[in-house]
Every structure is written in C-alpha cells, then in structure tokens.
Amino acid sequence: MPLPHTPSISADGLSRAGRPRLAFLGTGYLGATYAVCLAELGYDVLGFDPDASKIAHLAAGRVPFHEPGLQDLLRTNLAAGRLRFSTSLDEVAAFGDIHVVCVGTPQRAGAMAADLSQVRSAITNLVPRIRRKALIIGKSTVPVGTTAWIESLVADHADPGLGIEVAWSPEFLREGLAVNDVLRPDRVVFGVRSDWASAMLHAAHQGVFDLAAEESREVPVIVCDFATAELVKVAANAFLATKISFINAMAEVCEASGGDVELLAQAIGHDARIGRQFLGAGIGFGGGCLPKDLRAFQARAQELGVGEALRFLYEVDLINQRSRQRVVRLAATLLGCPDGPTGPDFAGTRIACLGATFKPDSDDVRDSPALSVIRTFAAAGAEVRVYDPRGTDNAREAVPEVAYAQSLADAVARADLLCVLTEWGEFREADPAALARLVRGHRVIDGRGCLDAARWAAAGWDHHTLGRRVKVQQDSARWLVR
C-alpha cells in the first residue's frame, strides 16, 4: 500500500501539515536508514555526512551497505524530491527544524567506554551555524548523561537568543529488518525537558502514527526524562544479550549432562513470562551494537559508582566469548585434532565455514562470532574456505588470510567438516544429499541450530549442534568440558 505523503514544505518554519523538516547528521547505517524511511513517510529530509563518497553514493541512489528494501525506497524518495544528501553543514543548519544526531559511538580504543568524539564534533560544528530555534534529537546509542552534556555544548556554542533545545529519542533497529523497524516501531521513547520539545517529537513521528492508524495499530509513546530515554536503549540491549547468554550457558550445562538445549528453549519459551525469542543457542551474539553497548554500559555504571549492579554483564560477555570457543573445541574433537600448546592443532584439516556476517540478511561483519571462529580455525592451522551470500567483501577485508568461495558448493568441496556459522536461508534450504557427494568427511556442526537435523542425518551426515552431548573419543572429550 502506498504511504501517505505530506504537501510540500513552505520556505521557513514548519510545513502547512505541521511536519518539521528533518536533517540527519551521519549517514551510516542508522542515519541513512532513518533519512530514507522518514522521507518515505512524507517528510522533507536532508542527510548530512562529512564523508563525500558516502554522500555521493546515497545521492546517486546507491545504499553503501546491504539492508533489504532500503535501496528501492532511497530511489523512490530521491526521485520524489523529498530526500537530499549534502556535505555542507551550512545547508543543514539552514534546512532543519529538527537535527537528528545519528553519528557513530564506537568502543573507545583500549577501553570499554564509548567514544563520543563524533557526537561532540557534530554538535560543536553545527550549532554555531543555526540561525533559528531548532530541536536537536540524539539517536545514537550513548552513555547515560550524554544529553545533558550536549545541552551544555549547545549552550557554549549556540546563539543563546535562539533557544535551541535538545531531546533524546533512542532507536531499536535490527539489521535486516531496519526499514520495517523505522516505519512500524513497537514503541517510541521521547526524552524531553519541555512541552515544545515533546510537541516537536510528536510532529516528527506523525508519519509513523498515521501509518499505524491506517493499519489499525497503535504505537506506544513513552515520554520521560533524558536519563531514562538514554537508559532504555542500553537496558534493552543488555537484556537481549543476557537472554542469549543465558541460553548459551544452558547449552553448556546440557552438553555436560546429556540435555538438549533446543527442547529446553522450546519448553521454557512457552512460558509467556519468558518467551521463545532470543533463546537461540549457538555461537552467540555479535554486530555493531550488542557487544559494544554491553561494555559501555558497564563502564558508565562504574563511573556512576554502581559498577556492582552491572557486574553480571561481564559474565554475559564471557559466556558469549566462550560460545565462540566451544564451536572450535567441538570441531577439534570431531576431527580428532591433537592438543597444541595454545589449543587444538588443525593442521592438515579442511574446514568449510558457511557464513561470515554476524546475522543473516546483512553484510555486516563487525564483531561477528562467525568471523571470530573463522580466524581461530585459520590461526590453528586449518585450511579454511568461507562462503557468505552477502558478506564476502567485508569479511575478506577483515580476515584476508582465508579463502573465499563464490558458491556454497565451491566452499564445501573436499571439506573434512562443515561449520554453519550464520543462519542464512540458503544454508537452511541446501540439499544435504547433494552436499554429501562433494565432501571428504560427512561432518557438520550447526553453530546456529538452523538445519533440519533429521534431514541431514538421513543424508548420511554426522550432525552436531551446540547444546547437545557429543559422543567423542575418550582422549578428546576434555575439550568439551574445559
């Protein structure tokens, strides 16, 4: 169904329909996705980035990363004239009624805390150029206290007569589903200090509310203080990470005791208080958000003197790291690799790794558990061939020392072991009987619990997942329990 579009925007102030003009600062994954989707909802949008090549790509209708559905929406909205991109902050300052900060907040080198230098430079470079009252909305994931700090930056750098205000409205985008997550959020959060800021945020979300009304849905709105708004995002990510590590801890116990973590997850997931989502056992979480947010949250809690309250997140992180190692140990056991001085020695083995991205339907390899396992196999002497439907270019840049195949069949040819490390549909749907004819050893580790175990076993495969006891030779069993 086509989405409703607002009439064109008047030269100054808000449009006749009361829609503010939206400028997005930073056109990485977050900013580009928001800019395109808000234009689709009928807003007049300008995307800014200091990186001229990024802006040139977007302005030419090319999304520089893989996100299903985004490319088509980018082209439609560029053509409709609702969406433009620029490297000029003067243009941004003149255009925006609302400036949305979407810059990166990576983990600081050599520390757990977040690096806010991009936020600082976005604000201090933009606000001296603004000539009328405007709202600055933060969206990047940041430590609690950042909005108040931005307010002080604005006070130091802006014309005080303009009354520029600041607010915080976190995002909850999932890669691979980001378009839908912007258009149809399951909630929106407005961290504000004034009724004006709250009204502006409502206006900036009117397109989302209108679409929900058309589809007979409601979008819950939580209006709160700055600190709560900032905490909502990190608390949500910390909870999701904890849920994943919880089931991976259960997987370890299942392996030691003879239980089956998949059945366990099904059984506890039927309890509505627990729920089945995010109880997928396997090689654990990665990506640009969960791991770094978890660490930055702990660092901030320590600064606030409540480090103990989040000490369990350290354990969540450790369980996650261990999940990556467990798949390597399982592989060593299945291949009968001898124990070397720093771990198993994979020399002489050929391993096909299926998947490199941190999740399917994405080309993102940041902190990817799959890539970490691939790197470990290679460092331990295995001959590794990797196949990923979308992530090969990024993976090759990060881990150039392994071979990358053009197809699934090419990757598995003559392999002693297959490891499924990302749950791409192509791997779920692959024909195990056809693959069985290509390999040297009929062993598969399903590191994401995504294959049909019975179908693979029927095709002659020795099929293993994490979280089920493996029948191993006596001398290598210790790797599984160490």
- Which tokens hold the place of 8? 């064109």
Least distance in Å: CB of 314 to ligand UDX? Answer: 18
Instruction: Produce one character per residue of 443-479: b if its CB has 16 or more CB atoms within 10 Å, e if not.
Output: bbbbbbbbbebeebeebebebbbbbbebebeeebeeb
Least distance in Å: CB of 284 to ligand UDX? Answer: 5
Least distance in Å: CB of 204 to ligand UDX? Answer: 18
* Residues written for the chain: 482
Least distance in Å: CB of 6 to ligand UDX? Answer: 27
| Count of C-beta atoms within a 10 Å radius of residue 149 | 17
In the bound state with ligand UDX, the residue whose beta carbon lies nearer, of 172 and 346, is 172
Active site residue 37: no
Instruction: Produce one character per residue of 291-305: b if its CB has 16 or more CB atoms within 10 Å, e if not.
Output: bbbbbbbbbbbbeee
Residue 286 contacts residue 423 (beta carbons within 8 Å) = no
Question: Looking at residue 184, what DSSP letter applies?
Answer: S
In the bound state with ligand UDX, the residue whose beta carbon lies nearer, of 175 and 446, is 175
Chain position whose Cβ is nearest to ligand UDX: 280
Question: Looking at residue 4, what DSSP letter applies?
Answer: P
Residue 470 contacts residue 464 (beta carbons within 8 Å) = yes
In the bound state with ligand UDX, the residue whose beta carbon lies nearer, of 127 and 261, is 261
Least distance in Å: CB of 175 to ligand UDX? Answer: 4
> Which residues, 6 or more positions from 246, have their beta carbon under 8 angstroms from its beta carbon?
279
In the bound state with ligand UDX, the residue whose beta carbon lies nearer, of 67 and 416, is 67
Residue 420 contacts residue 397 (beta carbons within 8 Å) = no
Q: What would you measure as the largest C-alpha separation in the chain, in angstroms?
A: 77
| 278 Rama sector, left if φ>0, alpha if ψ -120 to 50, beta otherwise | left
- Judged on CB neighbours under 10 Å (0-12, 13-18, 19+), 192 is buried
Chain contacts with ligand UDX (rule: CB under 6 A): 171-175, 237, 240, 244, 278-280, 282, 284-287, 289-290, 358-359
Q: CA-CA distance, 167 to 98, in Å (whole number)?
A: 10
In the bound state with ligand UDX, the residue whose beta carbon lies nearer, of 134 and 289, is 289
From 37, 289, 337, 353, the catalytic residue: 289
Least distance in Å: CB of 36 to ligand UDX? Answer: 17
Catalytic center residues: 289
